[in-house]
Amino acid sequence: MNIKQLLYLPLWYFKIRFSGKQIPLQTVIFITNECNYNCKHCCVDKTKPYSMTYDEIKEHLIYSYNQGSRFVDFEGGEGGKYKGGRGKYRGKYGKELDTKLGEVTGEYKTINDLCTLAKSIGFYSATVTTNASYDFSYFNADHVFVSIDGIKTHDIIRGKGAFEALKANIAKFPAPRKVSANMVINQINRDEIEAVLEFVQKSPYINGISFNFYNPVNGETALCVNDREAIIKTILNYKKRGYKILNSERGLKYLISPDFKKDCWITNFITLDGKCYSGCPDKTYCNICGLGMSGEMRALYDFNFQTILSGLSLRCRK
């Protein structure tokens, strides 16, 4: 990030904190529902494979940037499987594109084209979330988040051979400081948190790890954990010992009692159907939310110094 970009951040904070404006800083776009895994905790409907078109994503990015967002994360499905047509859809924000609805030119774009597009529009960083099941060393994203569900339990959740594939593919990425892990804690992998922390700590290929708790999918609560406080205390203990944990202390503590006031409008979400949400698209379980970013957004609104430093450190890595 350059000086001009860094100066934008305090200006943004001043506007949201002292003028009462709800201006997003980050955008999450679900670009495809295609994936080669069927993870037990996944909330993505993969019954009808679909990817947004390149021009649709472009319009969403321009809209989000104009709203104030400066960071974007491309998610799936599996973000790396994105292969979108060159446009041909009717605009979502009152502007009709100069193409026919449903028409595809045959010129396809990849995840790298989306990252390049985002930076050309003005986004400070573009990140991609992947399951690391295949070689992603060609990604030109500013940061890559890989999903880890445990050591032994990774295969139980994702399928045989998934963990070995992950280990092999993170080792191929040319910039390990740009790779972070993410773990969704649930009833299947809850006993492997410490093993995962040891794995990440020893790995020269992973910058750090963030933690989330499983949120119910379609009312299914069997995978929910019921002793978050004990788990978070364990994670905080490792963080104090210098382990590479990306969640801030304040953000983690918020998750102990997740009925705290949410400031999730700091991120706007764009779903595969083209709808744009100020904050989480599904507020059904807001009072028991386990998403780490909900705690981090609240901590950011509180101007928690550790949260700010952690975020800047992640975004400024070369």
Q: What is the CA radius of gyration of the chain?
A: 19
> Which of 135-139, 155-159, 305-309 is least confident?
305-309
Ordered domains of the chain (ranges, CATH):
23-315 (3.20.20.70)
Distance of alpha carbon 214 from alpha carbon 114, whole angstroms:
29
The DSSP bridge pattern shows strands 276-278 and 267-270 to be: antiparallel
What are the tens digits of pLDDT across the range 205-227?
Answer: 999 999 999 988 777 888 999 89
- Over the stretch 87-103, which tens digit does the pLDDT of each residue have? 444 445 444 444 443 44
Strands 179-185 and 209-213: what pairing?
Answer: parallel
pLDDT value for 286: 86
**Percentage of residues of the chain with pLDDT beyond 90:** 63
Give the model's pLDDT for residue 117.
96
Q: Which two tokens stand for residue 218?
A: 């379609």
pLDDT of residue 310: 77
User: For position 138, what pLDDT does the model report?
Assistant: 94
Least confident of 101-105, 106-110, 169-173, 183-187: 101-105
Which of the four pLDDT bands, split at 50, 70 and 90, describes residue 80?
confident
Residue 317's pLDDT is what?
Answer: 60
pLDDT tens digits for 259-290? 889 999 999 999 998 999 999 888 888 888 88
pLDDT band, residue 58 (cuts 50/70/90): very high
Q: Which residues contact 150 (CB under 8 A, 6 or more apart)?
A: 156, 157, 183, 188, 189, 192, 195, 196
Query: What integer pLDDT is reported at residue 95 of this predicted model?
Result: 44
pLDDT of residue 96: 42
Residue 81: the pLDDT is 84
pLDDT at 102: 41
Per the model's pLDDT, the better-predicted residue between 91 and 203 turns out to be 203
Q: Are 76 and 31 in contact (CB under 8 A)?
A: yes
- Confidence tier at 152 by pLDDT (50, 70, 90): very high
For residues 180 and 177, give the distance between their C-alpha atoms in angstroms, rounded to a whole number: 8
pLDDT digit string, tens, across residues 18-54: 888 999 999 999 999 888 888 877 777 777 888 898 8
More confidently predicted of 55 and 243 = 243
